[in-house]
Amino acid sequence: MSTDTFGTLGVPANLVNLLAAQGITTPTPIQAATLPDSLAGRDVLGRGRTGSGKTYAFLLPMVARLAQRKAPRRAGHPRALILAPTRELVTQIDTALAPLAQAAGLTSRTVFGGVGQGPQVTALRHGVDIVVACPGRLEDLIGQGHVSLADIEITILDEADHMADLGFLPGVKRLLDKTPRGGQRMLFSATLDSGIDQLVRRYLVKPVKHEADSPQSPVATMSHHVLHVTDDAYLPVLLDLAAAPGRTVIFTRTKHRAKKLARQLTASHVPAVELHGNLSQSARTRTMEAFHSGEVETLVATDIAARGIHVDDVGLVIHADPPVEHKAYLHRSGRTARAGASGTVVTMMTDDQVRDVRDLTRKAGIRPTTTRVTAEHPLLRELAPGEREFRAPAPVSAQVASGGNGRSGGQGRSGGSGRSGGQGRSGGQGRSGGNGRSGGQAGGRSGGQAGARSGGSGRSGGQPGGRSRSPRRTEGGRPRSGGAAAFSAGTRAGRRG
C-alpha cells in the first residue's frame, strides 16, 4: 500500500490543508499516479474508472501551477480551460474547484447552454482565471467575440470518451486548435477509446500515461445483483427497494420512462426527482439541489447522469432498464461505491431480457448474483436494509418534478381537487370506478375513501386530502398494505412506458 500523502506528492501546503479540512487526506491511486507528472507541467493521459478521484487529480495541479505563475486577469482571456460533456459535470467540477481556487486567489466561471449567456458574458468581461465549459456554448461565445483562448496555459479534457460518444470531438478539436501550442494539456477519462487516440496524437506532447485500474476491474466494495421478476412484480419490487432509507439512483433508457417512473414513485409516497435532457437548466439544478441536500433520496435518471453527477453516499444503484451496452452499465454503476465506500448495484430483468442482461454483464466483466424475486422476497431487505418509509414529498421536490406548481401541493397534482380538478382524474369516476382516483374527497392522488387506481381502500389510507396530507409516515414490516399494493394495481402494463 502506498504511503504517499498529497504533501509528499508535491501539492502546496495550503491546498493540502484545505483537503484535510474536508476529510481528504489519502490520495486515490489515480491521484498518486498522476500528480507528480501533472504538477511538473507534463502532458498527462489518465484513465481511472468512475469514482476514482480523477477530478482532484487534475484540479490540484492546475490550481497549484496557476497560483505559482501569477498573472493579471485580462478581460475575456482565461488562463485555464476545463472541457466536460454535460452541464451537470461542469457544475460538479466547478463546485469542487471553488474552494481550491479561492485559497489560491483564483476565479472561475462555468459556461454551458440551456441558460441565458448574459451572466457568463459579464463574468468573462470582468476577467476570470479558469473556464469550466461544455464545448457548444464556449464556441458560441468565442464566435461572438466574448472570449479568447489565446492565453490558455493549461487545458483539461474530462470524460473525453463520453464527449466522443456524444459527437463533440469536432468542436473539441476546434477549441484545442485555438489554445497555444506548448501549453500543458491533460486528458482524463474512464476509458481510452472512441477516438481518444487521435486527440492524444494531435494535441498531447510526449504524454505520460497512467492507468489506475483496468476498465473492467471489479470494485471490491460493490456488489452486483440481477433481480429476475415477472411483469406483475416489477413495480412492487422497485418500490420496495426505493422506499428503503438512503440515497438511490434509478436509471432508465428514455426521458419518458424517467419522468413516468419518478411520478409513479412519488404517487406511492416515495418522493423522487427526475433528471433527463428534456428539463430546463433551472429544473435540473433544482433536481440536483434536492438530491444533494437529502430532501429527496431517490433520483430517476437517464444516462445523462451516469457521467454527470457526483453525489456522496449513494448506497444503491438500480438499472430499472438494463442499458444497451456494457460501458453504460459500468458508468451507471459507478454512482455508488465511490472513493472506497460500499454500494449495491441491482439490475431489474424480465423474462424477455435474460439473454441481453447475460451478454451485458459478461462484456462488463461482472458476475452478478441472479435471483428470481417477488416484492415479498427477503433478499430485498438484504440489498436495501432498513424500514421502508412512505411519506408525502416536500414542496421543493414537487416544484422540481413539475416545474413549480406543486405536484403534491396539498390539493392534488394540478393544485386543484385532483389531477384535472373536480373529483379525481376524470372529474368524477376516476380510472376504474368508485369515487375517482383520489376518492372524490378533497383531491390528492392518494387521499379519499375509495381512492386508489383500482378502488378499494385508497393508495395510502382512508383520509381525505392531498398527497402531502401527512408530514411523514413509516410502516414497519411489510409496507405494501396501503402504498405498494395500490401502486402495483393498474400500473403493471405501464412498465415499459
Q: Which residue has the higher pLDDT, 17 or 310?
A: 17
* Phi and psi, residue 111, nearest 5°: -135, 115
Residue 219 has pLDDT above 50, yes or no: yes
Backbone dihedral region for residue 183 (phi beyond 0: left; psi -120 to 50: alpha; all else: beta):
beta
Q: What angle do CA 306, 307, 310 make, to 5 degrees?
A: 90
More confident residue, 352 or 486: 352
pLDDT value, residue 460 = 38
Q: Which three cell numbers stand for residue 156?
A: 483539461
- Residue with the larger pLDDT of the pair 216 and 168: 168
- The length of the chain, given as a count of residues: 497
C-alpha cell at 75: 478581460
pLDDT confidence bin for 171, thresholds 50/70/90: very high
Element of type H or E holding 248 = strand 247-251
In sequence order, the β-bridge partners of residue 251 are 301, 319
CATH 3.40.50.300 holds for 222-405: yes
Per the model's pLDDT, the better-predicted residue between 439 and 148 turns out to be 148
pLDDT at 435 over 90: no
Sorting pLDDT into bands at 50, 70 and 90, what band is 62?
Answer: very high
Reduced to 3 states, what is the DSSP secondary structure of residue 390? strand
Tell me the average pLDDT across 400-428: 38
Q: Do the two domains 13-211 and 222-405 of this chain adopt the same fold? A: yes
Residue 81, pLDDT score: 98
Which of the four pLDDT bands, split at 50, 70 and 90, describes residue 213?
low
Question: Taking the alpha carbons of 384, 460, 480, 373 in that order, is the dihedral positive or negative?
Answer: negative
* Alpha-carbon span 155 to 43, nearest angstrom: 10
Kindly list the domain boundaries of the chain, sorted by start residue.
13-211, 222-405, 410-467
First vs last C-alpha separation in the chain = 49
Which is nearest to 124 in space by CA: 104, 105, 144? Answer: 144
Nearest of 222, 244, 248, 473 to residue 379 by alpha carbon: 244
Long-range contacts of 15-19 (CB under 8 A, 24+ apart): 15/60, 15/63, 15/64, 15/100, 15/103, 15/104, 18/99, 18/100, 18/103, 19/56
Which residues fall within 8 angstroms of residue 345, CB to CB, at 6 or more apart? 222, 223, 224, 225, 316, 317, 318, 319, 333, 336, 368
Cα-atom radius of gyration of the chain, to the nearest Å? Answer: 24
pLDDT of residue 393: 55
- Chain center to CA of 194: 22
Find the mean pLDDT for residues 200-213: 88
Helices 354-363 & 326-333 angle (0-180, nearest 10): 70
Query: How far is CA 26 from each of CA 14, 53, 190, 328, 467, rounded to the nearest angstrom?
Result: 16, 11, 21, 29, 46
The larger pLDDT score, comparing residue 324 to residue 306, is at 324
pTM of the model: 0.60
pLDDT of residue 442: 37
Mean pLDDT computed over every residue of the chain = 79
Burial (Cβ within 10 Å: 0-12, 13-18, ≥19) of residue 122: exposed
CATH C-level class of 13-211: alpha beta
Name the amino acid, one letter, at 250. I
Supply the DSSP string of 295-314, one letter for each residue: S--EEEE-THHHHH---TTE
